[in-house]
């Protein structure tokens, strides 16, 4: 049977093991994907969606390479061209481009190999991971019940092994739902703040400081004409569960957290290690960013990390920063840079390398500095949206869609924290 225990507050858990199996040391399986070691048979996940890409340098230091849309088609539908990120030198994995429009023909759900026994599973734009060991499987982010059910069938068919652990990146319902599918065999693990975040606030709970900025008429509710932030304005009527025309704190909470998430059986504070079947998985809390319960999952043997929402290679943070934390987000990225890995496998979009962590940190540093300067000068949110263009980053995916929202979100976060 599974070991199930909760860490004491403030303690770091150094080992979580499936009690039915003897703990064994990792064998340090290192990935071969270094310095262009793989020149053929490259895994399909290591590709950039959409148009083909090229690397370019734009008047910055050698450590700041840029990714620019080239808009050119490859010679054949299956052809891939190797384009190495220069920032990490010879040790960086190669990143490949795929034919224009290929993402539109991708299946709705798929499983792709990262390296060794580490895999990604995808439904449209949501991606989780799993690691296969002789003693069972470790799943990261079941995403939703439909995808989790499909994944369980696939795992049974391909490997014939039970899921022993489910690790959560964070509590948001678009990544943490669906765990009940594995509840008969799995132990669930997440950061200690996840349990708190899954508790619905009372209906009369006050709005959070940032939400109070949206409450123009001061009635303690958010009417639809008071808010333009995507995570709540879409399907406003569905969010308004009591039908009174305004969202209270509990209804705003539900937009992100209401779902069928299985609460974690085991929680940790700063770092935890899961060992199963001779494999090791590390859980790192790098501080507040997109949420206050975010786990970075490190697969040491595979030299791969899994990051969700707060770090997506080649893309700015989503729209109005989705209720995130500044300037802590920047420091969180700096801690990720200090981890020992080669590959980022994100919860959305295509993988990248450590160079993309640096690029995202620099983007947020420049954004925060510009917004803070604007606030100090007494400029309004609307003025800053027009003035702060972040043009050095216009090559990023969804730049045109996200830039204005990032400025607005940074303004609201920084103003509300004063």
Digit-coded pLDDT (tens) for 212-225: 988 999 999 999 88
In this structure, are residues 198 and 171 in contact, taking their beta carbons and an 8 Å threshold? yes
Residue length of the chain: 418
pLDDT of residue 86: 24
Say how far apart CA 25 and CA 110 lie, in whole Å.
31
pLDDT greater than 90 at residue 315:
yes
pLDDT of residue 403: 96
Q: At 237, which helix (H) or strand (E)?
A: helix 236-239
Token pair, residue 96, equals 């490949």
Token pair, residue 266, equals 């085991």
pLDDT grade for 234, boundaries at 50, 70 and 90: low
pLDDT greater than 90 at residue 21:
no
Q: At 147, which helix (H) or strand (E)?
A: helix 145-158
| Nearest CA among 316, 392, 306, 319 for reference residue 352 | 306
The secondary structure of residue 143, as a DSSP letter, is B
E-assigned strand segments in 124-208: 126-133, 136-140, 163-167, 187-191
Token pair, residue 58, equals 């734009």
- pTM of the shown model: 0.75
Digit-coded pLDDT (tens) for 42-91: 333 323 233 222 222 233 332 333 333 332 222 222 222 222 222 222 22
Say how far apart CA 138 and CA 276 lie, in whole Å.
8
User: For 277, phi and psi rounded to 5 degrees?
Assistant: 55, 35
Q: At 374, which helix (H) or strand (E)?
A: helix 354-376
Q: Which of 95-99, 307-311, 332-336 has the lowest mean pLDDT?
A: 95-99
Say how far apart CA 98 and CA 53 lie, in whole Å.
9
3-state secondary structure of 150: helix
Cβ-proximal residues to 136 (8 Å cutoff; 6+ apart), any chain: 18, 161, 162, 163, 164, 165, 185, 276, 277
CA dihedral (124, 129, 133, 137) positive or negative: negative
pLDDT of residue 94: 31
pLDDT of residue 7: 39
C-alpha R_g of the chain: 22
Say how far apart CA 324 and CA 307 lie, in whole Å.
15
Digit-coded pLDDT (tens) for 120-135: 999 888 999 999 999 9
User: For 256, phi and psi rounded to 5 degrees?
Assistant: -105, -30
111 forms beta bridges with 121
Digit-coded pLDDT (tens) for 47-56: 323 322 222 2
Average pLDDT over residues 8-34: 29
pLDDT grade for 104, boundaries at 50, 70 and 90: low
Say how far apart CA 296 and CA 230 lie, in whole Å.
25
pLDDT of residue 239: 87
Say how far apart CA 405 and CA 318 lie, in whole Å.
8
CA dihedral (200, 291, 310, 372) positive or negative: positive
Say how far apart CA 367 and CA 396 lie, in whole Å.
14
CA dihedral (140, 146, 147, 150) positive or negative: positive
What domains appear along the chain, each with residue ranges and CATH number? 1-31+116-199+262-295 (3.60.15.10), 47-97 (no CATH), 209-257 (1.10.238.10)
E-assigned strand segments in 53-151: 53-56, 66-69, 82-84, 94-97, 109-115, 118-123, 126-133, 136-140
pLDDT of residue 99: 30
């Amino acid at each position: 049977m599974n070991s199930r225990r909760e860490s004491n507050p403030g303690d770091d858990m150094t080992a979580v093991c499936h009690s039915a199996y003897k703990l064994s040391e990792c064998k340090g399986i290192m990935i071969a994907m270094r310095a262009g070691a793989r020149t053929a048979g490259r895994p399909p996940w290591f590709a950039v969606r959409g148009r083909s890409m090229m690397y370019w340098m734009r008047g910055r230091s050698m450590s700041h390479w840029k990714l620019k849309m080239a808009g050119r088609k490859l010679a054949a539908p299956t052809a891939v061209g190797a384009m190495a990120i220069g920032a990490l030198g010879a040790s960086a994995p190669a990143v490949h481009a795929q034919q224009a429009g290929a993402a539109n023909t991708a299946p709705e759900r798929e499983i792709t190999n990262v390296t060794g026994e580490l895999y990604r599973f995808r439904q449209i734009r949501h991606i989780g991971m799993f690691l296969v060991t002789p003693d069972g499987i470790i799943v990261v982010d079941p995403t939703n019940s439909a995808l989790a059910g499909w994944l369980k069938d696939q795992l049974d068919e391909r490997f014939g092994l039970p899921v022993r652990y489910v690790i959560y990146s964070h509590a948001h319902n678009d990544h943490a739902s669906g765990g009940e599918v594995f509840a008969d065999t799995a132990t669930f693990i997440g950061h200690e703040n996840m349990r708190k975040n899954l508790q619905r606030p009372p209906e009369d709970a006050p709005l959070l400081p940032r939400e109070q900025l949206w409450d123009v008429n001061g009635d303690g509710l958010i009417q639809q004409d008071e808010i333009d932030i995507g995570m709540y304005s879409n399907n406003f009527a569905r969010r308004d569960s009591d039908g009174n025309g305004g969202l209270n704190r509990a209804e705003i909470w539900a937009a992100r957290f209401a779902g069928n998430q299985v609460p974690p059986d085991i929680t940790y504070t700063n770092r935890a290690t899961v060992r199963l079947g001779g494999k090791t998985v590390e859980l790192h809390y790098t501080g507040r960013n997109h949420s206050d319960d975010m786990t970075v999952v490190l697969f040491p043997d595979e030299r791969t990390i899994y990051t969700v929402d707060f770090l997506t290679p080649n893309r700015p943070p989503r729209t109005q920063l989705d209720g995130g934390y500044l300037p802590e987000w920047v420091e969180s990225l700096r801690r990720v840079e200090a981890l020992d890995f080669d590959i980022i496998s994100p919860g959305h979009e295509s993988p990248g390398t450590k160079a993309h962590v640096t690029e995202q940190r620099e983007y947020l540093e420049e954004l925060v500095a510009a917004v803070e300067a604007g606030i100090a000068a007494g400029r309004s949110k609307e003025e800053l949206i027009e003035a702060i263009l972040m043009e050095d980053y216009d090559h990023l995916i969804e730049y045109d869609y996200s830039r204005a929202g990032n400025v607005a979100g940074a303004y609201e976060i920084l103003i509300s924290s004063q």
